[in-house]
Amino acid sequence: MFTLTQNGRVAVLAMQHGKANALDTEFCNALAAKFDELKGADAGAVVITGQGKIFSAGVDLLRATSTGPDYFREFLPALRRLYEAVFFHPKPIIAAVNGHAIAGGCILACAADRRLIARGETRMGVTELLVGVPFPPLAFEIMRFVTAPRFFPEVIYSAATYPPEEAVKRGLADEIVPPDQLFDQAIEQAERLAALRPGAFAQTKRQMRQPVADALARHGEHTEAAVADIWLGAETIASMRDYVARTFKKS
């Protein structure tokens, strides 16, 4: 599902789950568990990246549409666990967005502290409304946290995917890097953050992300239930099947 290597003080987590690093229950749980382990590891920072031309294509819609609504009863908690493990991780996390980061894959990248995106045909964006599902509360708050406020409604409502220049403009990515320099620059920036005092960094990050934790404490449980009702509905599977049919036909 992934490999974990050490480069100096930086742990490098390279996702290798099928062709698209699609997010399913097992993959989300495995990644979350690894990030939890990294809290106590020697590494001072983490780089997460994908393979080939894809960082992550998001939720495994093919599996979801073939399994049925009950699949989401296990998947949604696993997805939340993954986002929590990355977004609230005490150590610096750099996302080296080597290729397309779509829907849940975009949110995963946005959960990192800094996002470097490969120049070229790479695209980032959240297509949830095109698929026919609302955002789980933490996913929504992550997108609110990173997106430039004046672009937030557009990013969410349009369900568009953006090339690197537009992704940076909207806050989805921080810096455009030549593909052949992406890994080295991600390591360099991770090393720079790893050199900071760990306790000071962790506390600062906690303060920066406290508004998200507060929003979840106020509204998370109610929103989670409302979102789950829609994800588990029979109409959602039909909408997903229609989206998959249109997308695969187009490709």
**Residues 152-204 pLDDT 10s:** 999 999 999 999 999 999 999 999 999 999 999 999 999 999 999 999 999 99
Residue 45: DSSP 8-state: E
Task: Tell me the pairing of strands 2-7 and 10-15.
Answer: antiparallel
Residue 5 confidence (pLDDT): 97
Domain ranges of the chain: 2-179
Query: How many C-beta atoms surround the C-beta of residue 81 within 10 A?
Result: 18
Residue 249 confidence (pLDDT): 65
Residue 246 confidence (pLDDT): 87
CA distances to 1, 93, 247 from 24, in Å:
11, 22, 19
Residue 184 confidence (pLDDT): 98
* R_g of the chain, CA atoms, integer Å: 17
With a cut of 70, list the residues of the chain below it in pLDDT: 249-251
The superfamily CATH assigns to domain 2-179 is: 2-enoyl-CoA Hydratase; Chain A, domain 1 (3.90.226.10)
Closest to 30 measured CA to CA, from 13, 45, 42, 43: 13
Query: How many C-beta atoms surround the C-beta of residue 163 within 10 A?
Result: 16
In three-state secondary structure terms, 11 is: strand
**CA 207/CA 72 separation, integer angstroms:** 32
